[in-house]
């Protein structure tokens, strides 16, 4: 199992966020009016997964545009003091390899000798997608 500083606290936060998404989905499926409202909201916010659109709608139902801090800055807009971002789930692709001892390790944490063996394809590798909590404005 991979462990790093962010992974030790992230699963609890992700579980809470996913539980919240599931509760919202149940709410939308029990009421045609709620489902219609969700559809209207989803038509305004593009380039996000359904789960992220639900999270955005719950946190800020009047959102029209959601983007990263860097993108807002590039567009010439700046965050005002006291403003807070919206939490979303962002995918992170991680490549791991099985080292000489048989443990899976992130490629970014490979030693120089391990990197040499990776370059000559002497280690088994695999890619996995994890999710991290991110903020958007």
Are 97 and 124 in contact by the 8 Å Cβ rule? The answer is yes
| Greater model confidence, 5 or 70 | 70
Q: What is the pLDDT of residues 32-62, one digit of tens each?
A: 888 888 888 888 887 888 889 888 988 888 8
Domain carrying residue 32 = 8-136
CA dihedral 39, 40, 44, 46 (to 10 degrees): 0
- Whether 113 has a pLDDT exceeding 70, the answer reads yes
| Greater model confidence, 28 or 94 | 94
Distance CA 16, CA 83 (A): 23
pLDDT confidence of residue 94? 92
Q: Is residue 2 part of a domain?
A: no
Q: Is residue 36 part of a domain?
A: yes
Distance CA 129, CA 131 (A): 7
Q: How confident is the model at residue 4 (pLDDT cuts 50, 70, 90)?
A: very low
- Region 96-109 average pLDDT: 90
Share of the chain above pLDDT 90, in %: 9
pLDDT confidence of residue 10? 52
Q: Is residue 111 part of a domain?
A: yes
Q: Is residue 92 part of a domain?
A: yes
pLDDT confidence of residue 1? 33
Mean pLDDT, the chain, whole residue set: 83
How many domains in the chain?
A: 1
Q: Is residue 67 part of a domain?
A: yes
Q: Is residue 1 part of a domain?
A: no
Neighbours of 121 (CB within 10 A): 8
Q: Is residue 3 part of a domain?
A: no
């Amino acid at each position: 199992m991979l462990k790093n500083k962010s992974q030790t606290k992230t699963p609890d936060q992700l579980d809470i966020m996913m539980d919240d998404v599931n509760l919202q989905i149940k709410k939308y499926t029990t009421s045609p009016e709620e489902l219609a409202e969700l559809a209207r909201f989803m038509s305004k916010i593009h380039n996000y997964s359904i789960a992220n659109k639900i999270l955005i709608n719950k946190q800020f139902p009047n959102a029209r545009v959601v983007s990263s801090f860097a993108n807002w800055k590039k567009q010439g807009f700046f965050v005002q003091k006291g403003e807070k971002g919206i939490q979303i789930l962002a995918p992170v692709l991680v490549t791991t390899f099985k080292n000489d001892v048989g443990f899976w390790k992130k490629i970014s944490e490979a030693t120089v000798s391990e990197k040499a063996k990776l370059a000559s394809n002497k280690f088994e590798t695999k890619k996995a997608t994890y999710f991290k909590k991110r903020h958007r404005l």
